[in-house]
Amino acid sequence: MRRDIFHAIADPTRRAIIVLIALQAMTPNALAEHFNTSRQAVSKHIKILTECELVKQEQQGREIYYSLEIQKMKEIDKWIEQFRKIWETRFNQLDIVLSNIKKQKK
Amino acid sequence: MRRDIFHAIADPTRRAIIVLIALQAMTPNALAEHFNTSRQAVSKHIKILTECELVKQEQQGREIYYSLEIQKMKEIDKWIEQFRKIWETRFNQLDIVLSNIKKQKK
DNA sequence: GATTTGCGAAACCAAAAGGTTGCACATATA
DNA sequence: TATATGTGCAACCTTTTGGTTTCGCAAATC
């Protein structure tokens, strides 16, 4: 079983769950209402997110409120960082090219 | 078949391919040497990346050089953006709290 | 012209994914 | 106490995934 954050965000339902609980803690039942699936299916997704340490839970009576461990999302950002460096560099190079064209026109 | 960029980066081998061809164009054979799989398996991954418009190819004789369509990576960055806003806001709020503590000490 | 090399596509396979239903258990409510 | 509600877990099923082997074709090399 691959259980990393990239696997976690691969599924569209899980991405939607992540977005929802990023704003406020929610119960599995409340989450399930947003999708065309059963509560159990949502529970399975939450289990995967938990295994990736992407969610924290708070029990209130018989209800369990899940919310996003937002710090964990930085891991994706960290991976993207290497590409951001590349596209920013290329943009700057384009900038230099355009600047040179401008100079030649003068 | 789900064929979006999040699905593309879910697999660790595909992520490694993406990193490799981000720096320089490579042939399937050259890529396969980096992994413990066959060239055909790499070809399958490239096919998926192509369907996600993540790679461009350039034929040179009988060899095909694949390279990363780096602009496409921005789509992930765009999705992360909403979370970046949250964690930056929370950091600023912490900043305010710390600032207030400092003031009270004075 | 014959052979080697690089490639994609197809057929096949075991494992994983993502869903369902049914259940057990704890907590709230009548 | 009896019933309703919220939850996780297990069993099950179909589809997808990621790999393999085999093949055909085009380009390079002999």
Distance CA B104, CA B106 (A): 5
pLDDT at position A91 is: 67
A38 CB-to-strand D distance under 7 Å: no
pLDDT digits (tens, 9 = 90+) for B46-103: 999 999 999 999 999 999 999 999 999 999 999 999 999 998 887 677 666 666 766 6
- Is A12 near chain B, with CB under 8 Å? yes
- pLDDT exceeds cutoff 90 at B104: no
pLDDT at position B58 is: 96
Q: Which of residues 46-65 of B touch strand C (CB under 7 A)?
A: 46-47, 57, 62-64
Distance CA A60, CA A89 (A): 50
Stretch (H or E) spanning B101: helix B74-105
pLDDT at position B89 is: 84
> Which regions in chain A score pLDDT beneath 70?
1-2, 91, 94-99, 101-106
pLDDT digits (tens, 9 = 90+) for B16-31: 999 999 999 999 999 9
**Of A7, A9, A74, which is closest to B87 when you measure between CB atoms?**
A74
DSSP label at residue B26: B
At A40, the amino acid letter reads Q
Name chain B contacts of A80, Cβ cutoff 8 Å: 73, 76-77, 80
Q: What is the pTM of this model?
A: 0.87
- Contact assessment for residue B46 and residue B13, using Cβ atoms and an 8 Å cutoff: no
pLDDT at position A89 is: 84
pLDDT at position A90 is: 75
Strands (E), A1-106: 55-60, 63-68
